């Protein structure tokens, strides 16, 4: 649930959907849930949205679906309810995300009493990004992290890469860590039944590339009572022709401070799994239910988007200083 446009809105992630038989029942359920929560929270009801990884129609229903289908309508760019970006590279995808969110809406955040610079943010709801060539031009030259950091973050915080090809059966958190995405995916100490979800998905994809159930859940019910619930809620790995697709769902994403490193790490995970499971290449999809830039970073973002062009006098001044 996310409050924007003066209303309460609901967004659901669905790993697989029989579009002919179950789209309407699922949308009816989501609509009912939104009505109930809106009424109980005394907030005006807004919109519902579904992010579906593997929508499908079974061959038995093809003719019936053809008779009822309408021409598809694709929307790109920014709208009041969602934003859809398509870019070739992660570096340009991040740049485009910075631009649309920088020109987005303004709202208060829950962090104002602790971090003055994060009291207000620019944001857009439901930001969906498709990256066509995630293996090329991965890091923007103005990214707030180095490639070395990105690899370390991917290997240790997201993947636990040293043991990617074998199950994890012991705690992996370092001293002082409450959770990591790798810990939630591979060996969550607080789970009653411990499952290395990532390893299980890799084994399933090795056996059958067309599996639709290779979903890794990062969120836990008790996150609702915690102070800092994980921004990443879960991800799915699925077959897209000859490519392995990775789709990552985030409840909240700091576009300047975290998104680019997130994208690099998540794409690295997808690349490793594609190699281990015999896919020729991979595709990357990134979704943020609340994509934002905190006010303390707006000047830095402005400089990335609209760098100041040095004037002739600026050049002369620098030249004089060089010879002083």
Instruction: Give the pLDDT confidence score for residue 117 in this predicted structure.
Output: 74
pLDDT in tens, 261-270: 999 999 999 9
Q: pLDDT band for position 213 (50/70/90)? A: very high
Q: What's the pLDDT band for 118 if we cut at 50, 70, 90?
A: confident
Query: For residue 314, what pLDDT is reported?
Result: 53
Domain extent, residue 195, equals 82-309
Nearest Cα to Cα of residue 49 among 11, 91, 14: 11
User: Above pLDDT 90, what percent of the chain?
Assistant: 88
Relative to beta strand 215-217, strand 120-131 is unpaired
Q: Do 4 and 103 belong together in one domain?
A: no
- The pLDDT assigned to 113 comes to 66
How far apart CA 63 and CA 54 sit, in angstroms, is 20
* Domain boundary, last residue among 50, 73, 96: 73
Same domain, 107 and 66: no
Given a cut of 80, is residue 55 above it in pLDDT? yes
Query: CA 223 → CA 42, 108, 167, 187, 226, distances in Å?
Result: 23, 22, 25, 16, 5
Domain boundary at 40, 73, 106, which?
73
CA distances from 153 to 67, 185, 188, 271 (A): 49, 15, 18, 15
The CA distance from 188 to 184, in Å, is 5
- Entry field: residues in the chain: 324
Q: Does the predicted TM-score (pTM) go above 0.85? A: yes
119 pLDDT higher than 50? yes
Which tokens sit at 233? 């809620």
| Strand 83-87 to 243-250 pairing | unpaired
**Closest by alpha carbon to 197, among 175, 178, 177, 219?**
219
The CATH code of the domain that includes 125 is 3.30.572.10
């Amino acid at each position: 649930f996310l409050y924007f446009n003066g209303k309460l809105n609901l967004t659901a992630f669905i790993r697989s959907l029989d579009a002919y038989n179950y789209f309407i029942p699922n949308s009816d359920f989501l609509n009912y849930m939104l009505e109930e929560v809106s009424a109980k929270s005394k907030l005006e009801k807004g919109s519902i949205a579904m992010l579906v990884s593997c929508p499908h129609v079974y061959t038995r229903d093809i003719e019936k679906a053809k008779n009822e289908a309408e021409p598809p309508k694709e929307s790109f760019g920014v709208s009041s309810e969602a934003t859809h970006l398509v870019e070739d590279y992660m570096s340009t995808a991040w740049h485009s995300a910075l631009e649309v969110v920088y020109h987005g809406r303004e709202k208060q955040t829950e962090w104002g009493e602790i971090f003055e610079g994060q009291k207000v943010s620019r944001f857009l709801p439901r930001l969906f990004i498709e990256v066509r060539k995630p293996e090329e031009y991965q890091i923007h030259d103005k990214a707030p992290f180095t490639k070395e950091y990105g690899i370390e973050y991917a290997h240790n915080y997201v993947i636990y890469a040293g043991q990617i090809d074998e199950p994890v059966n012991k705690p992996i958190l370092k001293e002082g860590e409450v959770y990591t995405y790798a810990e939630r995916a591979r060996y969550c100490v607080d789970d009653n039944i411990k499952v290395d979800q990532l390893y299980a998905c890799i084994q399933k994809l090795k056996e059958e590339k067309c599996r639709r159930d290779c979903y890794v859940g990062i969120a836990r019910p008790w996150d609702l009572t915690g102070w800092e619930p994980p921004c990443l809620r879960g991800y799915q790995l699925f077959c897209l022709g000859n490519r392995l697709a990775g789709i990552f769902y985030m409840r909240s994403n700091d576009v300047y401070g975290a998104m680019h490193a997130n994208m690099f790490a998540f794409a690295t995970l997808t690349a490793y799994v594609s190699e281990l499971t015999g896919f020729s290449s991979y595709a990357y999809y990134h979704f943020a239910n609340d994509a934002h830039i905190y006010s303390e970073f707006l000047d830095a973002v402005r400089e990335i988007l609209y760098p100041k062009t040095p004037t002739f006098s600026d050049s002369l001044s620098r030249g004089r200083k060089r010879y002083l």
